[in-house]
Amino acid sequence: MIIGIFKLTYRNLIASVDKVFLMWQVVFPVFYIFISGYAYSGLIGNHGVQLGEIFVSYPSFLAAGMIGFNVMNSSTVAGSIIWNDKRNGMFQQLLVMPFTKIQYIISNLITIMIMGLTSAVIILVIGLPTMLGNANPTLWSILYTIFSIVVGAVFFGSFTVIISTRLKSSEGFTVISNGIFLFFAFASSTFYPAQGVTEPLKTTFYINPLTYIVDITRAGIYSQITNFTNMEVVVILILSTISFFIAAISMLKIKV
Which percentage of the chain shows pLDDT scores above 70?
A: 96
Residues in the chain: 256
pLDDT band at 148 (very low <50, low <70, confident <90, very high): very high
* Residue 14 DSSP code: I
Residue 152 in this model has a pLDDT that exceeds 80:
yes
DSSP 73-136: HHTHHHHHHHHHHHHHTHHHHHHHTT--HHHHHHHHHHHHHHHHHHHHHHHHHHTHHHHTTT--
Would you state the pLDDT for residue 30? 79
Would you state the pLDDT for residue 122? 80
pLDDT band at 16 (very low <50, low <70, confident <90, very high): low
Would you state the pLDDT for residue 31? 80
Which H helix or E strand runs over 204?
helix 201-205
Residue 209 in this model has a pLDDT that exceeds 90:
yes
* Mean pLDDT, rounded, for 53-66: 86
* Mean pLDDT, rounded, for 215-224: 92
Query: In a 3-state reduction of DSSP, which class is residue 43?
Result: helix
Range of the domain at 217: 2-252
Residue 228 in this model has a pLDDT that exceeds 70:
yes
Would you state the pLDDT for residue 213? 94
Whether the model pTM is above 0.85: yes
pLDDT band at 255 (very low <50, low <70, confident <90, very high): low
Average pLDDT in the chain: 83
pLDDT digits (tens, 9 = 90+) for 68-95: 888 888 887 777 777 777 777 777 787 7
* Mean pLDDT, rounded, for 217-224: 91
* Mean pLDDT, rounded, for 93-108: 83
Q: Is 206 exposed, middle or buried (0-12, 13-18, 19+ CB in 10 A)?
A: middle
**Sign (positive or negative) of CA dihedral 50, 56, 57, 63:** negative
Q: What are the percentages of helix, strand and coil residues in the chain, rounded to 5?
A: 75, 0, 20
CB 111 within 8 A of CB 78: yes
**Domain count of the fold of the chain:** 1
Residue 18 in this model has a pLDDT that exceeds 80:
no
pLDDT digits (tens, 9 = 90+) for 154-199: 898 888 888 888 877 777 777 888 888 888 988 898 888 888 778 8
* Mean pLDDT, rounded, for 92-102: 80
